[in-house]
Structure 1
Amino acid sequence: MAENRVERRLAAVLAADIAGYSLLMGRDEEGTLSQLKAFRKTLIDPTIAAHRGRIVKTTGDGMLVEFASAVDAARCAVEVQRGVAAQNLDVPQDFRLEFRIGIHVGDIIFDDNDIFGDGVNIAARLEGIAKPGGICISDDAQRQIRGKLDSLFEDMGPQNLKNIVEPMRAWRLSIDERSSVLMALDRPAEGRPLKLPDKPSIAVLPFQNLSSDPEQDYFADGIVEDIITALSHYPALFVIARNSSFTYKGHAVDVKKVGRELGVRYVLEGSVRKARDRVRVTGQLIDATNGAHLWADRFDGSLKDIFDLQDDITVQVVGAIAPKLEDAEIVRALRKPTDSLDSYDYYLRARSHFHKAAKDDIGEALHLFHKAVALDNKFSSAYGMAAWCYARRKLNGWADEGSSETVEAARLVERAVECGKDDAVALASSGIAIGYLLSDFERAVSLMDRAQALNSNLAMAWHLSGWIRCFLGQPDVAVEHLERAVRLSPVDPQRPGMQAAIAAAHFAAGRFDIASSLAKSAMLEQSNNFIAALVAAAANAMTGNLGIATSAMERVHTLDPNFCLSKVKDRLPHRHPELIARWEDALRRAGLPE
């Protein structure tokens, strides 16, 4: 009797399904099926065929596809996700089809035109941990793809996959569309690290919270933020911004990889344990170019000593990487904005909410900043950050009509500037509030310039200055300042917002094609970015791409149903009337109502 031999082969397997399919079917069964059929016919099936893939089988909400090459599978996945994201611009948020995709390269069993085995199971499990609209790939697939795809990778670390015995390292594959305009803004692709600055460069990673209470995360984060702030005050150092450092929170990291991604030589990591009125902070400084440990220490004290503990860590780190700094520079860098521990605690809680940026979080941050200044009426950073909260509320359309928020913000700015002549955070946050809310651009520029002189590493100062320069009619200076902010915070979660700001500056300069490209990339990364959608609508209207402009305008309306032409000047307070007129003309063409 002939032996029945199983056919095995090495293949790249792509598994895909629709996120929230049952919910979508419950909302609109016929519409969901119709939309899925349209995606399959016009986008998904042709793209798979173009990349030499074979559809093995389909289910109601997903499919399994085999490729001979991991590169073909990845290129197909990126093209499909970009196409779906672009077509979804025409669809209301609650009715959008979003696919999750997983890719693995491994040994599969081929039988009766179907495929089986761990290679298939792993791809399916990776699809299950992908974000809606995202792509998750195995370490084996990433090794074959890297360097061959114009896309970025984000290391997810080891993942425990259901019914897979050993944890497997996984990666997110970005669908961000790259161009020469965006090359300087993107996170470096694997194997292409950012160039090291010409002075000692450092990133401070989030310290691990070893306290029994997970709610103490804000305290550990606050200690790290203050160490970053102190290091940032040294002009002789290049210090990565808080928002980029904190993208590594909760992940096991490879310090060498962090150094490549952030473009720094040194990395500081550590832990915080807070129990009753005692605190223990540990820190270790690592040379990211070779993994060598340069310094490590443990600091114990009472909570009332927390500022001293932070200073001890900062001084020892500085002494290890830049030992020739002047004593006066060290004293200036270690100056604290408050001596009140209770006020400081409220401030840390407020900043934690501020960084989350949702409407309710900004409201809670405002409440806590006010509590901080109630305990210390000279706390300049808290005054400035509270004023910035009001600017954020206006930008996002959250401020109440006819409210007194502008008057309150102006009061906070005066207190911030009065109490914080040497406080870069207070000056920069006051600058955006006084410029955006009151159109006092000259004073805003003065405050931003002082903040940048005090702390040349403060990414937020360069970011906010970019907006003020744009409103003032200096788009090229705006682009320069915004790109510097991106280099200081290269993997910032708010990077789409920075891209949108750069897009707005290019629109102001009349470079509509560049503005459109940047706005599109920002929208693909962050679909709820109001400014990106607004620039996409205006820039495409100016270049005659009215279909894309109209789709982007529908997104604008979804994000802010009350936005109309009469509010353009208020939300985009440009100094020059002709630029306001350009915005209004472009948005009118895109379909914004009067």
Structure 2
Amino acid sequence: MAEDSRRKLAAIVVADVAGYSRLMGEDDAGTLASLRAHRAELVDPLVAAHGGRTVKTMGDGLLMEFPSVVDAVNCALAIQHGMAERNSNLASPNAIRFRIGIHLGDVIVEGDDIFGDGVNIASRIEALAVAGGIALSDDAYRQVRDRSDVAWADGGEHALKNIARPVTIWRWSVGEDRTPSPGPKKPAAEKPPPDRASIAVLPFDNMSGDPEQAYFADGITEDIITELSKVSGLTVIARNSTFVYKAKAARIQDVAADLGVAHVVEGSVRKAGSKVRITAQLIDGATGGHLWAERYDRELADIFAVQDDVTGKIVEALSKSLIAPGPTPAPRHEPAVPEAYDCVLRGREQYRLFTPEGNRAADGLYSRAIALDPAYAAGYAGLAMVRMHDWFAGEPDALDKAYELAQKASELDPALPLVHEALGNIRLFRREYEEATASIERWIELEPGSADAYANLAGLLHFTGEPEKVAPLIDKATGLNPFFPFYYTLYCGQAYLMMGRYDEALEALRRAATRNEDALPAQLYLAACHGLRGEDKPAQDALARVFRLHPGFSVKWLKTYFPYRREEDTARLLAGLEVAGFSA
């Protein structure tokens, strides 16, 4: 570090103008004059009044710092309310609206400037705020949650570019609340208690002494989640929300509150050769008290019996007063060779890397599972998904091979949810729309607590011409998966675009692209959405990113891999891309 540099803790505020490129394209001189006036008459006086300073301006953006998060938030609220008043007589497309992000973090001070992760996080968070709104990091939120009349909405966890750990954000926008009270501040309204028939299964600890065995503990955890998700009336938090807590020391009551559940399962796995030791505990999320605990010392061949017993004991403990009797899930088909199950777990881990290398490794592992046990449906279903990704990578015959494998898996075990996940996705790209829908709906019947099943149905219905059904399904999915992946938001953006609701589409697509800038569909639909809104420059920028991600992008490629049932949907997408500069 330079000699004149020092570190300090600060509340960092980043603001920029929503739709700045469009505003400048329509009236650059007027936009600059308005922005200068807003700063001189509103923003700068408020920053000074709240004890902050403007570090620098960056085109349409501002970087500010405050010694207190409370002062930073109060200043941001005052700015957004002031901007709403100043814009009240303007047509919405002509109004200047700020997005503001706030983070409490460590910064490096050099002269009058500040740098470091604290600034980077605030900048990334700002992009997740809505126009006219504010987004806080969890670190900032903890400083103000009991010191403000504002009701902050939980915006979920986000993976931010170049930031090592995911960041939880909290959102507010003008019109949502903030009625100042002249009397003593009322206590914040308590969150409603969670549904008692709700549960989260934390990643089981790998106690094998070998980090390479982590896949096995993860696989056991995921299979228990899947089995619990089959129980009607039980809300089960999805894998990628509970796996946020992997290898982290977390207080059970905090985990339960974060995930909105009444009960938590935790445990451990020790695997040595053909021997397995599994411990599992069911814990009350409010008190941290144990409701049930068990330890199993078994042979690897008995692993399914252990999982079924764990699931059964949990359901038994909850069903006495919480879960109404429902249909008994179909029994699982166990592999004849225990090693085949091990190969499937390792194949699943490799497949989820979503890389060419991971796909090749998964291919070998799933193929090995089938060779060991030709009647093991999970091996065929997993290999079917690998073949579908081979098709995405440009192998023209791979989709037919994927379909054959999925059909074989269905013959062997029609009650396996993965079978219907594979069949539904493959049938969509084969343009077998009714059959694809039936497969995903069957997946939901078999696993009614699966967030991914509802999200898959949402994505499918967007392509089959029913975009109005997408948002309710994504709401259901996010309820089961609070730390949901970026594509949940992407599906909403795609659906809004096909419904002609371009403002809502743009907000959703921006959030999806911010969380995963290398996701080709997010950039593609962003380009089309900006084009349909008549925003040439942002549309062209997004299309340039599309070609950087996929230099061979073409109309033929789009029509192959974007299986719209209605011609008008494909035409709408292409119309937006044409404004961005794309030609057939």
| 2:424 counterpart residue number | 431
Matched, 1:485 2:483: no
Q: Give, in whole Å, the separation in 2 of the partners of 1:68 and 1:521.
A: 29
How big is the shift at 1:454?
Answer: 1.6
Matched, 1:399 2:407: no
Instruction: Decide whether aligned partners of structure 1 residues 587 and 337 sit closer, same or farther in structure 2, where only a CA change above 3 A counts.
Output: farther
The answer (yes or no) to whether the contact 1:568–1:583 under 8 Å persists in 2 is no
Alignment of 1:173-572 (within 5 A): 174=169, 196-197=194-195, 200-323=197-320, 329-330=327-328, 332=329, 335-336=332-333, 338-392=335-389, 394=391, 398-400=392-394, 403-436=396-429, 438-492=430-484, 494=485, 496-572=486-562
How big is the shift at 1:427?
Answer: 1.0
Q: Helix, strand or coil for the counterpart of 2:295?
A: strand
| 2:86 counterpart residue number | none
Alignment of 1:9-20 (within 5 A): 13-14=10-11
Instruction: Decide whether aligned partners of structure 1 residues 152 and 237 sit closer, same or farther in structure 2, where only a CA change above 3 A counts.
Output: closer
How big is the shift at 1:545?
Answer: 2.1
Deviations 1:7-59 (A, max 9, x none): xxxx9625799xxxxxxxxxxxxxxxxxxxxxxx99xx99898644656999x
Q: Helix, strand or coil for the counterpart of 1:388?
A: helix
Q: Give, in whole Å, the separation in 1 of the partners of 2:157 and 2:529.
A: 34
| 2:90 counterpart residue number | none
Q: Helix, strand or coil for the counterpart of 1:516?
A: helix
How big is the shift at 1:193?
Answer: 5.2
Q: Identity over aligned residues, as a percent?
A: 29
**Aligned amino acid, residue 351 of structure 2:** F
Unaligned runs of 5+ in 1: 1-10, 18-40, 79-99, 116-122, 157-169, 182-189
Q: Give, in whole Å, the separation in 1 of the partners of 2:45 and 2:381.
A: 56
Match of 1:576 among 540, 556, 566: 566
Q: Helix, strand or coil for the counterpart of 1:297?
A: strand
How big is the shift at 1:370?
Answer: 2.4
How big is the shift at 1:191?
Answer: 8.5
The answer (yes or no) to whether the contact 2:69–2:140 under 8 Å persists in 1 is no
How big is the shift at 1:77?
Answer: 11
The answer (yes or no) to whether the contact 1:500–1:522 under 8 Å persists in 2 is yes
The answer (yes or no) to whether the contact 2:205–2:267 under 8 Å persists in 1 is yes
How big is the shift at 1:206?
Answer: 0.2
Matched, 1:70 2:69: yes
**Aligned amino acid, residue 554 of structure 2:** C
The answer (yes or no) to whether the contact 2:427–2:433 under 8 Å persists in 1 is yes
Of 583-592 and 217-226, the range deviating more from structure 2: 583-592
How big is the shift at 1:365?
Answer: 2.3
Q: Helix, strand or coil for the counterpart of 1:174?
A: strand
The answer (yes or no) to whether the contact 1:230–1:314 under 8 Å persists in 2 is yes
Q: Helix, strand or coil for the counterpart of 1:212?
A: coil
Q: Give, in whole Å, the separation in 1 of the partners of 2:555 and 2:276.
A: 54
Q: Give, in whole Å, the separation in 1 of the partners of 2:414 and 2:253.
A: 38
How big is the shift at 1:246?
Answer: 1.1
The answer (yes or no) to whether the contact 1:390–1:433 under 8 Å persists in 2 is no
**Aligned amino acid, residue 407 of structure 1:** D
**Aligned amino acid, residue 442 of structure 2:** R
Q: Give, in whole Å, the separation in 1 of the partners of 2:234 and 2:410.
A: 26
How big is the shift at 1:231?
Answer: 1.0
How big is the shift at 1:255?
Answer: 2.1
Q: Helix, strand or coil for the counterpart of 1:361?
A: helix
Unaligned runs of 5+ in 2: 1-7, 15-34, 57-61, 78-100, 127-135, 159-164, 177-187
Q: Helix, strand or coil for the counterpart of 2:233?
A: coil
Aligned residue-pair number: 493
Of 501-510 and 216-225, the range deviating more from structure 2: 501-510
Q: Give, in whole Å, the separation in 2 of the partners of 1:70 and 1:334.
A: 54
Instruction: Decide whether aligned partners of structure 1 residues 250 and 314 sit closer, same or farther in structure 2, where only a CA change above 3 A counts.
Output: same
Q: Helix, strand or coil for the counterpart of 2:351?
A: helix
How big is the shift at 1:576?
Answer: 1.2
Instruction: Decide whether aligned partners of structure 1 residues 417 and 578 sit closer, same or farther in structure 2, where only a CA change above 3 A counts.
Output: same
**Aligned amino acid, residue 419 of structure 2:** A
| TM-score normalized with structure 2 length | 0.73
Q: Give, in whole Å, the separation in 1 of the partners of 2:297 and 2:72.
A: 53
The answer (yes or no) to whether the contact 2:350–2:361 under 8 Å persists in 1 is yes
Q: Give, in whole Å, the separation in 2 of the partners of 1:238 and 1:428.
A: 20
Matched, 1:586 2:576: yes
Deviations 1:189-218 (A, max 9, x none): x98758734x61111010111111001100
Instruction: Decide whether aligned partners of structure 1 residues 428 and 474 sit closer, same or farther in structure 2, where only a CA change above 3 A counts.
Output: same
Of 531-540 and 363-372, the range deviating more from structure 2: 363-372
Instruction: Decide whether aligned partners of structure 1 residues 192 and 154 sit closer, same or farther in structure 2, where only a CA change above 3 A counts.
Output: farther
Q: Give, in whole Å, the separation in 1 of the partners of 2:371 and 2:205.
A: 31
Deviations 1:103-154 (A, max 9, x none): 3599xxx9xx999xxxxxxx99974996994699796873236765857588
Instruction: Decide whether aligned partners of structure 1 residues 101 and 490 sit closer, same or farther in structure 2, where only a CA change above 3 A counts.
Output: closer
Of 298-307 and 477-486, the range deviating more from structure 2: 477-486
How big is the shift at 1:258?
Answer: 2.2
Instruction: Decide whether aligned partners of structure 1 residues 427 and 263 sit closer, same or farther in structure 2, where only a CA change above 3 A counts.
Output: same
Deviations 1:387-426 (A, max 9, x none): 23344455xxx522x5321121121121122222212221
| 1:144 counterpart residue number | 144
Q: Give, in whole Å, the separation in 2 of the partners of 1:282 and 1:430.
A: 35
How big is the shift at 1:364?
Answer: 2.4
Q: Give, in whole Å, the separation in 1 of the partners of 2:444 and 2:310.
A: 24
The answer (yes or no) to whether the contact 1:138–1:171 under 8 Å persists in 2 is no
Q: Give, in whole Å, the separation in 1 of the partners of 2:200 and 2:175.
A: 27
The answer (yes or no) to whether the contact 1:16–1:127 under 8 Å persists in 2 is no
Q: Give, in whole Å, the separation in 1 of the partners of 2:217 and 2:201.
A: 12
Instruction: Decide whether aligned partners of structure 1 residues 543 and 192 sit closer, same or farther in structure 2, where only a CA change above 3 A counts.
Output: farther
Instruction: Decide whether aligned partners of structure 1 residues 581 and 64 sit closer, same or farther in structure 2, where only a CA change above 3 A counts.
Output: closer
**Aligned amino acid, residue 486 of structure 1:** T
Q: Give, in whole Å, the separation in 2 of the partners of 1:536 and 1:140.
A: 30
Instruction: Decide whether aligned partners of structure 1 residues 76 and 269 sit closer, same or farther in structure 2, where only a CA change above 3 A counts.
Output: farther
Q: Give, in whole Å, the separation in 2 of the partners of 1:221 and 1:205.
A: 10
